[in-house]
């Protein structure tokens, strides 16, 4: 018989550097999850990744206080900032250009994020990433 699900916790956890300090500790603690057990398992699973990349994580908490977790790919904004060489997007996206990214770079990001995007093919995924770039204030060039 399947375990009874008590709830889900959605967090952005830095890869390889999870620790019990806020916001992770309190979020897990109020559901009764063993915080140290999660941090060890998460750090082991994300150990090969570049340190401190924000990783969207969905933690499923069961009635017996056990848990499972699923990690997603880093946000498109992280990759776009990295490709553009900027620390952040534009302060006024519709007026001020915050940087530039090429279509080829957007396609490369779409290939990395394809499993987490709601697109049927790579061209549609590329358009989604281009839209994210424009909303951050980046100019998409050929």
Domain boundary among 47, 71, 95: 71
Based on the fold, state whether residues 43 and 22 are members of the same structural domain. yes
Instruction: Please tell me the total count of domains within the chain.
Output: 2
Pair of tokens at residue 96: 């001020």
CATH of residue 49: 3.30.1550.10
Enclosing H/E stretch for 80: helix 76-84
CB 139 within 8 A of CB 97: yes
Cβ 110 vs Cβ 117: under 8 Å? yes
Helix (H) or strand (E) holding 134: helix 122-135
| Separation of alpha carbons 54 and 42, rounded Å | 13
Does 136 lie in the same domain as 89? yes
Does 15 share its domain with 59? yes
Here the CATH number for the domain that contains residue 132 is 1.10.10.250
The residue segments making up the domain with residue 22 are: 5-71
Nearest to 117 by CA among 132, 137, 96: 132
CA-based Rg of the chain, rounded to a whole angstrom? 18
The tens digit of pLDDT for each residue in 33-89 reads 999 999 999 999 999 999 889 999 999 999 999 999 999 999 999 999 999 998 988
Band of pLDDT at residue 1, cut at 50, 70 and 90: low
Q: Show the tokens assigned to 29.
A: 């603690």
> What is the reported pTM?
0.86
Tens-place pLDDT, residues 112-123:
999 999 999 999
Count of CB atoms within 10 A of residue 114's CB?
A: 17
């Amino acid at each position: 018989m399947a375990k009874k699900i008590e709830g889900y916790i959605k967090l952005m956890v830095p890869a390889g550097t999870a620790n019990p300090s806020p916001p992770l500790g309190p979020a897990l603690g109020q559901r009764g999850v063993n915080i140290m057990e999660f941090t060890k398992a998460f750090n082991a699973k994300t150990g090969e990744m570049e340190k401190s990349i924000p990783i969207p994580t969905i933690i499923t908490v069961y009635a017996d206080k056990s848990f499972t977790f699923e990690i997603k790919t880093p946000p498109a904004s992280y990759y776009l900032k990295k490709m553009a060489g900027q620390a952040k997007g534009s302060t006024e996206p519709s007026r001020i250009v915050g940087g530039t990214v090429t279509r080829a770079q957007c396609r490369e990001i779409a290939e990395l994020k394809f499993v987490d995007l709601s697109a049927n093919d790579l061209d549609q995924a590329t358009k989604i990433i281009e839209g994210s770039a424009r909303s951050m204030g980046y100019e998409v060039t050929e």
